[in-house]
Amino acid sequence: MIVITIVLVIMVLAALWASLTTLLLRATIALALTSAMLAVVMYSLGATLAAVLELSVCAGLISVVFVSVISLTQRKHSRTTSRAA
């Protein structure tokens, strides 16, 4: 029982971190951690198939897609003109 409580606290903290951070990569990592902790809770409650699907699809596949999309997007940089002396 104490293990489930610790995992739930970690899951809530990761979800808060995902919603409060301004950096997309950190939010993706926090969402993957939240999904992994949810899979641990499902496994400990006896839903092994749901836990495996949650871990492989949500924590694995969706996180890889998010990181790929983040790496493909470009930041807009302000143009600075440099004068040659």
Q: What is the pLDDT of residue 82?
A: 54
Instruction: Answer yes or no: is 65 within a domain.
Output: yes
Q: Please give the tally of structural domains in the chain.
A: 1
Position 42 confidence tier, pLDDT thresholds 50, 70, 90: very high
Q: pLDDT per residue over 4-39, tens digit each?
A: 899 999 999 999 999 999 888 888 889 889 999 999
CATH of residue 39? 1.20.120.1200
Nearest-angstrom CA–CA distance, 12 and 22: 18
The answer to whether residue 19 is domain-embedded is yes
Could you tell me the residue range of the domain that residue 63 belongs to?
2-70
